[in-house]
Amino acid sequence: MTRERTERRRSGQLGRPNREAPAIVTTRPESPSDQAAIREIHEQAFARVDEADLVEALGTEGLARLSLVAVRGGEVLGHVLFSEITLDADGARRPCLALAPLAVHPEHQRRGLGARLVMDGLARVRAGEPRLVFVLGDPGYYEKFGFSAPDAASFEARYAGPAFQVWRPAAASDLPRRGVLRYSAPFGKF
């Protein structure tokens, strides 16, 4: 069997020459028309409304700095939000980002969409003003993107613990390595 035929068999396309190829998934900044889909994705992914409410509150308070969606054929499949938090370090208050929440609709999970959203988001952060990014999540998942729980241990935060991690842009060696992190009010219910 040829390589092409093997690939067609694996993808379910063997014997279906007229079948349309699946649409490509892209990521892009959120648009106002995505808000209902974003809410639904968070409610479905977390089986509760808290994360969806957090996304809305951060947007309403003007704290959302980067909001990306994963889209295929016009359908929003996933969402990640990077919002403003602050770090008191070295006698100054510095802006940082919180990666939270990240969600992919349950029907589309385990296909790399969450990873793609995180990687694209971090690439955009890297291209802009250097900032530390903090996340509260599974270290086994987030360390593959460069997040570090041991590095985050030197920061004081209400969410300190093994799931608390920091990402530092490679070119930003001058960013603080310790300080007191202050999350915005909408995170208060967590």
Splitting the chain (190 residues) into consecutive groups of 10 residues, what average pLDDT does each group show? 46 41 84 97 97 97 97 96 96 96 96 96 93 96 97 94 93 86 91
Looking at domain 21-189, its CATH class is alpha beta
User: Can you read off the two tokens belonging to residue 105?
Assistant: 């609709």
The position carrying tokens 């609709």 is 105
Per-residue pLDDT at 89: 94
Q: How far is CA 163 from the centre of its chain?
A: 15
Rounded CA-CA distance 10/7 in Å is 5
Per-residue pLDDT at 22: 57
Helix axis angle for 50-60 and 35-46, nearest 10°, is 150
Per-residue pLDDT at 8: 40
